[in-house]
Structure 1
Amino acid sequence: MRWHAAYAWLPGGVARDVTFEVEDGRFVSVTPGTDPGGAEPLPGVALPGLANAHSHAFHRALRGRTHDGGGTFWTWRERMYAVARQLDPESYLALARATYAEMALAGITCVGEFHYVHHQPDGADYDDPNAMGESLRRAAAEAGIRLTLLDTCYLAGGLSPDGHTPLNVDQQRFGDGDARAWASRVAALDDDANTRIGAAIHSVRAVPRDQLAPVVEAARGRPLHVHLSEQPAENEASQAFYGLTPTALLRAEGVLGPMTSAVHATHLTHADIAALGGTRTTACFCPTTERDLADGIGPARALADVGAPLSLGSDQHAVIDLLEEARALEMHERLNTLQRGRFQPSALLAAATNHASLGWADAGRLEAGARADLVAVRLDSPRTAGSAPEQVLLSATAPDVDTVVVDGRVVVTGGRHVLGDVGALLQDSIAPLWRTATPTDAGRDS
Structure 2
Amino acid sequence: MTETRTRDRKPQGAEKQRWHAEAAYVAGMVETDVLIETEGDRITAVTPGLQAPADAVHLPGLTLPGLANAHSHAFHRALRGRTQIGEGTFWTWREQMYEAVAGLNPDTYFELAVGVFTEMALAGITSVGEFHYAHHDHGGAQYADPNAMGHALIQAARTAGIRITLLDTCYLTGGLHATVNRTALNNTQKRFSDGDAEKWAARVESLRSAYANEPDVIIGAAIHSVRAVPKEQLGTVAAAAAKHDAPLHVHLSEQRAENDACLARYRLTPAQLLESSGALGPNTTAVHATHLSQADIEVLGDSETCVCMCPTTERDLADGVGAARTLFEAGSPIALGSDSQAVIDLFEEARAMELDERMRSERRGHWPSTDLIDAATAAGQESLGWRGAGRLHAGELADFTTVGLDSIRLTGTTLDVAAESVIYAATAADVRHVVVGGRVVVHDGIHRLVEEPARRLGAAISALYRRNARV
2:386 counterpart residue number: 360
**Which residue is equivalent to 1:43?**
60
**1:55 and 1:112 in contact (8 A); partners too:** yes
Residue in structure 1 matched with residue 188 of structure 2 by the alignment: 170
The one of 419, 426, 437 aligned to 1:390: 419
- Choose which of 204, 221, 225 in structure 2 pairs with 1:203: 225
Question: Residue in 2 aligned with 1:31?
Answer: 47
Task: Report the Cα distance in structure 1 between the residues aligned to 2:156 and 2:72, rounded to whole angstroms.
Answer: 13
Matches within 5 A, 1:146-165: 146-163=163-180, 164-165=182-183
Q: Judging changes above 3 Å, is the alpha-carbon distance between structure 1 residues 389 and 335 closer, same or farther for their aligned structure 2 residues? A: same
The answer on 1:293 being equivalent to 2:310 is: no
Q: 1:74 to 1:439 in 2, by over 3 A?
A: farther
1:399 aligns with one of 420, 424, 429: 429
Contact 1:231–1:266 (CA under 8 A) maintained in structure 2: yes
Deviation (angstroms), 1:436:
4.6
Q: CA deviation at 1:426?
A: 1.0
| Distance of 2:108 and 2:303 partners within structure 1 | 40
Give the unaligned 5+ runs of structure 2. Answer: 1-16
Secondary structure of the equivalent of 1:420?
coil
Q: 2:97 aligns with which of 80, 90, 93?
A: 80
Counterpart of 2:22? 6
State yes or no: 1:420 paired with 2:451: yes
Structure 1 Cα separation of the partners of residues 102 and 468 of structure 2: 8
* Contact 2:108 2:460 survives alignment (8 Å): yes
For residues 12-411 of structure 1, the aligned pairs below 5 Å read 12-38=28-54, 39-163=56-180, 164-190=182-208, 191=211, 192-220=214-242, 221-353=245-377, 354=379, 355-387=381-413, 388-391=417-420, 392-411=422-441
Letter in 1 for 2:408: P
**Structure-2 change in CA distance of 1:300 and 1:10 (3 Å):** same
Q: In the alignment, what sits opposite 2:6?
A: none
Instruction: Give the AA of the match of 1:432.
Output: A
Query: Across the two proteins, how many residue pairs are aligned to each other?
Result: 440
Structure 1 CA distance, aligned partners of 2:189 and 2:459? 26
Structure 1 residue 69: Cα displacement: 2.3
- SS of structure 2 residue aligned to 1:158: coil
TM-fit CA distance, 1:12: 3.6
Describe the SS at the equivalent of 1:323: helix
TM-score, length basis structure 1: 0.97
Q: Is the 8 A contact 2:28 2:370 kept in 1?
A: no
Could you tell me how far apart the structure 2 residues matched to 1:368 and 1:33 are?
16
The percent identity for this pair of structures is 56
Q: Deviations over 1:96-131 (max 9, x none)?
A: 111000000000000000000001111111110000
The amino acid that maps onto 1:205 is: R
TM value normalised by structure 2:
0.92
Quote the offset at 1:434 in angstroms.
Answer: 1.6
Across the aligned residues of Structure 1 and Structure 2, the Cα RMSD in angstroms comes to: 1.2
Which letter does structure 2 place at the counterpart of 1:389?
A
Partner AA of 2:444 in structure 1: G
